[in-house]
Chain A
């Protein structure tokens, strides 16, 4: 199956003569040289795919180009060069009519500062994408009411954005982005403007929604913990370059560059790593009373493993034994060498 989103050699360079400079460089963009020429490099040679139903989290500090990358893929800004395929179609070549059509049918986006329309109520905000599409008021409001229920805002349909807390406003933003039932869901630092406690709650809510909806997602964040919690795969960006793109546990175990290592150093391994990564697969017939799944996060089963005196077997989704686990390995992960 072909990927839902596919980027190859995407560049975004801000500045007047970006195009000529880029073609002169032949794809080897040096940010410093470009800066001297009056250009700022936003995205530098990004190539990756996002598959149907997958959640890719783009993580980077401010100025790393993560939001710019997202905006190139939604074509809120035009990429300077490169190919961006959505379901096999290059959106860089679309005219504005096709683009509007694509956004109305396939895309939804959530913004950092919510970006709700201040003159519309919760219900009207959520119904807005449907109404610009030409859905009747009755149908759009009906659909909006469904979305209100989905994001848990029942009873606040008639509030104005300014009357809601940050968390509630972002629920409206989420409901609005989902109203047209898009296949692709863009989220630009959706929880960064929220308090830590609310943020945690919204992340849980988000995971719940995703388990129901199973969208193809690009999620931008500057918070490495958030990325680890949510992602199927993480892309770490710095100065426009994707430093590493991999599954969370692989990034923690094998950081590709020193920059990535800085993030992973302080991450508690047991919260990220799965049993699979420390199990002993050489013993596929291990016996024992107690079993843990290979996809379990170490932290969640550590107590169970350490309290047991028997050998512990590791099973896969189908409950067939795939290996065993040695408590000393768990201790090593928990307390270091």
Chain B
């Protein structure tokens, strides 16, 4: 009899979860909530970590490996730490490159200034690089689009560029673009090199995996403070933050692409007598070309997603304008800048995708003029527009509109948006407000209280129990270790708030995604449509989602949560569609011939088979949600994000705190990832899918 029960428990996962839940509730209710009780809250044994981290950073910057450096201004040798000199030269190099591209397009004398003396430059004030007129740039964007993808891309590029110019966002857009143009190649080179290294050496790949996992789940904010400490403020700091964030996906794509090459192709290369170098550059990289270029596309998208965040460390451009507008609650202005970023993102996205899929035609028999037709037209248009603009200098007295339309003079639709927002406020104030209040007091408030009232012993039992039931003892210890690490810091309460927000948003976003995805995945056309909608929304940088919600719900948890839900619904929907589409047709037919109704087919065939894939979508949802919740600190919440954000203004102990807190968020995401991935794998195996 007794043995029978044990058998049931051993074989039935629902029974195991039931028992776990009972233990959890028991612990929840019977552990007294008082300080000093270690079952309630663990002592912060790990509080030294941020302090130690800080010590290391500052020691590296000011004490380790002193070098004698000659100071030309004071004409003497000084002792400086080697590391500091190293970071300084990186900063200088990057700043030079960004300024160089910027001046090339916008004109100016900063670059010339580097090569000649100040005094000489003052005497010769004609010595300044001329700006590229926006008119010529528009022609350029049109022609580039035409070259890459025909007339449709040409229109996209041309109209996009025209819009940006006429609406007065030319200067900040070029500032942002120059940032992207310098950062992307660096990410590309770094990502490709590490990717190749990881592909060639299994040990390196194993070492890279956890590092990449942490880097890709760290909230972007967490990098900012250490970067300020190491590199100072400015465009280069923004660029470095972006490099740190955008390189991991490039590495992943490179490894993935190289691994996908069929072993026969490698063998064919070897049998052709390739040396190692020839094999790499003539066989492996070109064959993985498409995946590698998709990586480049991801890098560019990450760069644009980072522009606002980079503006916190001094990057100029559209991101800064958006941040300033948001800070002063100018929704229309913020929307305009946001729209420009989205536009640039969409254009660059389409352009790079077209480039990735373009094949070279070696055997066109073209004359010189035919081959370089577009380049010649572009060159001529630069010449003509520059001359016209230069002559027009005499005609316009203050601002030469043929070079650039400044932001105050450009067309604007900001006031329409402001008016619309006002109208929405006036009309729906009570309903919005009461919805907001209802959500806060009836749902979010109690949920938050429940989370905060959870004794640490109960939380650990629950998470480790789930990990054990799903993944066994190793997963359990891994997840337990990560949670314990957070629990033994002094930030556990804040972490609980982050968890509560994330849980709420993940549940809502997953539900949304599964429902929307299921509806559209019923027909092929619907699937295609919804996937393209997902593509479109994915080009939106994350903070763009914050703009409308602030105006509807003010600065509350509701705003952040709604932004997070909308943002995270995208991956949930995408994976649902993928999962449902991957259900074999033969099973559909078998179902139909068994006489199932549509609803029965959905619940009995499609959902169970698609579930592993859907769960991977939920996994993505967790990462997306955490990012948005942390980003919510930008507008004021009280979780870990707020502390990371706060660390920005504390130069002394900021870096250590920011890294530690970022790591916590990353560990939470990884814990979920470990469990969900394991579970999805097992379900896949059980269902016999690949």
Binding site for B on A (CB under 8 A): 71, 74, 76, 100-101, 103-104, 107-109, 111-121, 124, 128-129, 132-133, 158, 160, 173, 176-177, 180, 186
Contacts and interface: CB of A to CB of B under 8 A. Distances in A.
A109 B287 contact: no
16 contacts: A100-B275, A103-B270, A104-B273, A107-B271, A109-B268, A113-B262, A115-B264, A115-B268, A116-B265, A117-B265, A117-B268, A119-B286, A132-B274, A132-B282, A160-B359, A176-B268
A8 B476 CA distance: 52
B395 interface: no
Nearest to B289: A119
B267 A115 contact: yes
Contacts of B363: 121, 158
B273 to A, nearest CB: 3
Given A117-B265, A160-B359, A132 B289 contact: no
Interface in B532-574: none
A186 to B, nearest CB: 8
B115 interface: no
B120 interface: no
Nearest to A106: B273
Interface in B330-370: 359, 362-363
A114 B264 CA distance: 8
B209 interface: no
A132 B275 CA distance: 8
Interface in B248-290: 262, 264-265, 267-268, 270-275, 278, 282-283, 286-287, 289
Contacts of B267: 71, 76, 109, 111, 115
Contact of B272 (A71, A76, A129): A129
Given A119-B289, A132-B278, A103 B264 contact: no
Interface centre among A74, A101, A128 (most CB of B within 10 A): A128
Contacts, number: 68
A109 B271 contact: yes
A103 B268 contact: no
Given A109-B268, A176-B272, A115 B262 contact: yes
A100 B268 contact: no
A154 B121 CA distance: 65
B55 to A, nearest CB: 44
A121 B287 CA distance: 13
A128 B265 contact: no
Interface of B: 262, 264-265, 267-268, 270-275, 278, 282-283, 286-287, 289, 359, 362-363
B293 to A, nearest CB: 12
Nearest to B283: A117
Interface centre among A115, A117, A118 (most CB of B within 10 A): A115
Contact of A115 (B265, B273, B282, B286): B265
B205 to A, nearest CB: 19
A160 B361 CA distance: 10
A158 B282 CA distance: 19
Given A109-B267, A111-B267, A117-B265, A132 B272 contact: yes
Q: Which 6 A-B pairs have the closest CB atoms?
A: A104-B273, A129-B272, A115-B264, A115-B268, A109-B271, A103-B273
Nearest to B275: A100
A186 B268 CA distance: 11
A132 B276 CA distance: 11
A129 B283 contact: no
B521 to A, nearest CB: 29
B272 A103 contact: yes
A42 to B, nearest CB: 15
A117 B287 contact: yes
A132 B271 contact: no
A187 B359 CA distance: 30
Contacts of A113: 262, 264
Given A132-B274, A133-B273, A111 B362 contact: no
Contacts of A76: 267, 270-271
B264 A108 contact: no
Contacts of B278: 132
Given A119-B286, A119-B289, A111 B264 contact: yes
Contact of A118 (B272, B275, B287): B287
Contacts of B272: 103-104, 128-129, 132, 176
Given A121-B363, A128-B282, 19 more contacts: A76-B271, A101-B273, A103-B272, A109-B271, A111-B267, A111-B268, A115-B262, A115-B264, A116-B265, A117-B265, A117-B283, A119-B359, A129-B272, A129-B273, A132-B272, A132-B274, A132-B275, A158-B363, A177-B271
A196 to B, nearest CB: 22
Contacts of B265: 115-117
Nearest to A113: B264
Contact of A132 (B262, B273, B286, B359): B273
A101 B274 CA distance: 10
A100 B273 contact: yes
A113 B262 CA distance: 9
B271 A108 contact: yes
Contacts of A101: 273
Nearest to B279: A132
B202 to A, nearest CB: 14
A111 B271 CA distance: 11
Nearest to B264: A115
A119 B287 contact: yes
Contacts of B289: 119
Contacts of A111: 264, 267-268
Contacts of B270: 76, 103
B284 to A, nearest CB: 10
A291 to B, nearest CB: 46
A185 to B, nearest CB: 11
Nearest to B273: A104
A131 to B, nearest CB: 8
A56 to B, nearest CB: 18
A104 B269 CA distance: 11
Contact of A121 (B264, B268, B273, B362): B362
B362 to A, nearest CB: 7
A132 B286 CA distance: 15
Contacts of A173: 268
Contacts of B271: 74, 76, 103, 107-109, 177, 186
Contacts of A116: 265, 268
